Amino acid sequence: MFDGFKRLWRGVMRMFGYTTLKNIAGKDVTLSDKMIDAINDWKKMMNGQADWLTDYITSLRIEDGICREFADAVLIEMESNVSIERLDKVYQRAISDLNEHLQEGLGLGSFVLKPIGAERSEFITADKFIPILFDDNGKPSDIGFLTVKRIGESDYFTRFERHYFENGNLTIENKCYHSQDSSDIGQLCGLDEVPEWADINPGPVTYPGMRQMDFGYYRNPIKNRVDESACGVSIFESARELIRKADIQAARLNWEYESGERAIHIDNRALKMDKNTGRFGMAKLNKKLYRGLNLEAGKDNELLKEYSPEMRDEAYKRGLEEFKREIEFNVGLAYGDLSDVQEVAKTATEVRTSKTRKFNRVTAIQSNLKDCLSDFAAGLAFYNGLYTSGYEFNCDFKDSILVDEETERLQDRQDVAAGFMQPWEYRAKWYHEDEATAKAMVMREADTIDE
């Protein structure tokens, strides 16, 4: 029986390694060992399996929160279409689940949106393709896609699909390798060894006139400081250490709650033996609340002593919120996207600055995404024989992240008038007063009016 197709990454990298990938491509590949390690690290973080996690320290899944917040902000008001109706139907079907794939692409640094013939498409994230060469615009001009298929118990077939330019024209070729050892790519074989690949032209096939890649490529608008290449970098890479600290701080907070649970220490003299089990205990008592101990007899010869330590959770909470705000600053989110906005007093200027920071990052992501979708539409047109038909691609982002201060202030006044916002809340927000001062000022104004 045939197993389903799998696009492997960590497995492929462990099985083949950089040298084998270089030999398959027949030249040096841009993808370095450092980038391979970094992508694997980001993948583990997104899966809640970061290296610093233990039975005691669990993931807050901040990485998911960052990617989800950016994806929602980028796509919330996006309108995108292709002018030719037949092409637009295929396009709209392809981007119907763009949000979840964008989240993955943001987390791993990049993704490819690739047509599969005229009617289908697939998203391929950075853990599943091999950049061989980039052009001056930071787009792949030579790239490979690895698909691994296992047949039976020990036959492994690997298809290497390569897209590159030959004399300025798109060229596609396919190779197939067979091995009976998952740690070895094996020897070249025919594509017809796998029935599903039998109809694929091994090539190389060159398409005159197609002077761009047949897919869309998205890359995060972040400088690559991992290996200085054009490979995409995770949206949360700059906050990696802060995320680690936040997870550890959350573990401290959890431990504070667990260790601070009230308990009653019971002298063994107060316990009775259950005749059926032979165990000592007290009837109808909470096992976490009561603990049997050999207590030293005090002056009152107590049999029960309460253990109820003072909780220090507020200090741990403040520390955790501070880490979250530092993460927001590092990745380009606004205050309150991850943190509890009520935990810290921020001036209107600080709030405005954080919104601007997020707006700028979201705008940069939208620009790169628009290029990706435009190239994908071109790929669809190519496979549908409409590449030179004069189709138009449209993509609009109507951003509401950055709201004009006067517009926001007017909206707040309307909310106060409608009773949706308290007058003191308005004063606290726009006059930078604490709650007590704002309430006192509102009462003073009311008294003045009454007089």
266 and 367 belong to one structural domain: no
The better pLDDT of the pair 300, 45 is held by 45
* pLDDT of residue 300 exceeding 70: no
* pLDDT of residue 241 exceeding 80: yes
Local confidence band at 147 (pLDDT 50, 70, 90 cut-offs): confident
Whether 85 is covered by a domain: the verdict is: yes
Local confidence band at 74 (pLDDT 50, 70, 90 cut-offs): very high
Mean pLDDT of 369-382: 96
Show the beta-strand stretches assigned E in 38-189. Answer: 78-82, 110-116, 120-125, 129-134, 140-151, 155-166, 169-179, 187-189
The better pLDDT of the pair 360, 304 is held by 360
Pairing of strands 304-307, 205-207: unpaired
Helix (H, G, I), strand (E, B) or coil at 218: strand
Domain boundary residue, one of 281, 314, 347: 314
Domain boundary residue, one of 294, 314, 334: 314
387 and 447 belong to one structural domain: no
Domain boundary residue, one of 352, 369, 397: 397
25 and 125 belong to one structural domain: yes
> Across all residues in the chain, what is the average pLDDT?
83
386 and 407 belong to one structural domain: no
Tell me the whole-structure pTM to 2 decimals.
0.77
Answer left, alpha or beta for residue 327, where phi above 0 means left and psi between -120 and 50 means alpha. Answer: alpha
pLDDT of residue 5: 41
Domain count, the chain: 3
* pLDDT of residue 154 exceeding 50: yes
pLDDT of residue 73: 92
User: Cα 110 to chain center, whole Å?
Assistant: 11
CA distance 415 to 15: 61
Reported as a single tens digit per residue, the pLDDT across 405-438 is 566 778 888 889 988 889 999 988 888 788 888 8
Whether 327 is covered by a domain: the verdict is: no
pLDDT of residue 2: 38
Reported as a single tens digit per residue, the pLDDT across 186-202 is 889 999 999 999 999 99
128 and 29 belong to one structural domain: yes
Proportion of the chain above pLDDT 70, given as a percent? 79
Mean pLDDT of 360-369: 94
110 and 195 belong to one structural domain: yes
66 and 187 belong to one structural domain: yes
293 and 261 belong to one structural domain: yes
236-240, 307-311, 316-320, 359-363: least confident range: 307-311
**Which two structure tokens, joined as six digits, stand for 5?**
């197709």
176 and 303 belong to one structural domain: no
Local confidence band at 256 (pLDDT 50, 70, 90 cut-offs): confident
pLDDT of residue 69: 95
213 and 295 belong to one structural domain: no
pLDDT of residue 139: 94
User: Cα 114 to chain center, whole Å?
Assistant: 21
43 and 90 belong to one structural domain: yes
Domain coverage including residue 176 = 10-233+361-397
DSSP 53-95: --SS-----HHHHHHHHHHHHHHTTEEEEESSHHHHHHHHHHT
Whether 193 is covered by a domain: the verdict is: yes
User: Cα 192 to chain center, whole Å?
Assistant: 38
CA distance 211 to 135: 13
391 and 418 belong to one structural domain: no
* pLDDT of residue 13 exceeding 50: no
Whether 128 is covered by a domain: the verdict is: yes
pLDDT of residue 49: 93
Whether 324 is covered by a domain: the verdict is: no
CA distance 293 to 61: 40
Reported as a single tens digit per residue, the pLDDT across 86-105 is 999 999 999 999 999 999 99
* pLDDT of residue 302 exceeding 60: no
Contact in structure between 386 and 370 (CB atoms under 8 Å) = no
Answer left, alpha or beta for residue 119, where phi above 0 means left and psi between -120 and 50 means alpha. Answer: alpha
Proportion of the chain above pLDDT 90, given as a percent? 48
CA distance 285 to 306: 14
Mean pLDDT of 303-317: 65
The better pLDDT of the pair 442, 298 is held by 442
Whether 260 is covered by a domain: the verdict is: yes
Whether 336 is covered by a domain: the verdict is: no
Whether 353 is covered by a domain: the verdict is: no
